[in-house]
Homo-oligomer: A and B are copies of this chain.
Amino acid sequence: MQNSIGRLFTVTSFGESHGKCVGVIVDGCPAGLPLTGADIQKEVDRRRAGEGAASTTRREEDRVEILAGVSDGFTTGAPVCLLIANEDIKDADYESIRSKLRPGHADYTAYMKYGGFNDWWGGGRFSGRITATFVMAGAVARKLLDLIGVEIVAHTVEIGGVVAGPVEFDEIKKAGADPLYCADPAASKKMTEIIASTRQEGDSLGGIIEGIARNVPVGLGEPVFDNLDGDMAKALLAIPAVKGVEFGAGFAAARKKGSENNDPFIVRDDRIVTATNNAGGILGGISNGMPLVVRVAVKPTSSIAREQKTVDIQKMASTDLKIEGRHDVCIVPRAVPVVEAMMAITLCDFAMRAGLIPRVIK
């Protein structure tokens, strides 16, 4: 396992879904940043809030505790340790299906990789709950990015085939008020309907999340291998259920001609910008100052109420599986703040690498 990401702003995740806690270490955070539990709690709550019609009923307090790295309300330069104690403890819910490999989950691969020793309760390290650790670290990153004016928002642009209409950045910021984090109210309504009907069917839905970062300084990214898009894609693919990542025009660029896809440079307010943004804010692996636009494909929730065919790994035989308990029909809304967090972690690391965030905040 390798649970650290980031070269100068280094995030190390730990904990399990049904263990004692989930937690995260942020090493490399500059000293002097005002940081309270409430700063982190706010983001963690958004992750829980973004549930709406699609959500599971598991409700933990998810109370963030700062365990280390902060003194008198400011970061000290030492590693920041943030923790959420688990309240739901291992119960027999999952026991009955332990050896039945849940399709779409990491049960099989984790079993094989860790020789059956992996903590499988509730998915262990592979649970969506681990993304709470990403969000905690992302909250620290966002506070640092605030210092240089970088704004990050993500929103739901598609669920179950329902596509949200294009909206302005400032509208997207308001998407936080929507239960599905969708900035298009009409689409949100349709998404809610299809989620409801899919729940009736005992099935699940996927979707697409778009993340946008504004005021990104020109020059973030360290080619040829530590490209801004490359490292951001890696960070986003750490979110369970993400199966694809694209920047700017993305896959649609493959169908355009060069004359359409090239973004002409123009001078505006004494700065060089591009007239269009098919590049999604990244050229040659380096930010160009235009909004960074990334979209991630989220597969439908693997846990469904319907009976599924699978294998009992102990018996090496086919079996039927019915996953009990309630699960999110669609995890897209809950993943929206996680996308923001992974964008923030990546941008913060690159801003530090570019020397744009001071070692001591004053």
Residues of B within 8 A of A203 (CB): 257-259
Asked if A322 is at the interface of the complex by the 8 Å CB criterion, the answer is: no
Chain A 118-141, CB within 8 Å of chain B: the 1/0 string? Answer: 110100111000100000000000
Contacting chain B: which of A147-155, A168-176, A205-213? A205-213
Whether A291 is near chain B, meaning CB under 8 Å from some CB there, is no
Oligomer: number of copies: 4
When each residue 273-288 of chain A gets 1 if its CB lies under 8 Å from chain B and 0 otherwise, what string results?
0110011100111111
Other-chain residue from B1, B249, B267 in contact with A78 (beta carbon distance below 8 A): B1
Residues of B within 8 A of A234 (CB): 225, 227, 230-231, 233-234
How close is A276's CB to chain B, nearest CB, in angstroms? 10
A223-251 vs B, CB cutoff 8 Å, 1 = contact: the mask equals 11111011101110110100111111111
A109 at the binding interface (Cβ < 8 Å): yes
Flag if A16 contacts B78 (CB, 8 Å).
Answer: yes
Q: In the complex, are the beta carbons of A280 and B243 less than 8 A apart?
A: yes
Q: Does A355 contact B (CB under 8 A)?
A: yes
Residue A192, interface by CB 8 Å: no
Report the bound CA distance from A206 to B10 in whole Å.
Answer: 36
Other A-B contacts than A2-B28, A246-B297, 16 sampled, CB-CB below 8 A, are A1-B78, A4-B27, A31-B114, A71-B121, A77-B117, A106-B223, A112-B286, A113-B221, A113-B354, A126-B223, A240-B284, A244-B253, A249-B299, A264-B308, A270-B316, A355-B355
Closest 8 CB pairs of A and B: A106-B284, A244-B246, A204-B258, A115-B360, A109-B286, A2-B226, A103-B262, A77-B114
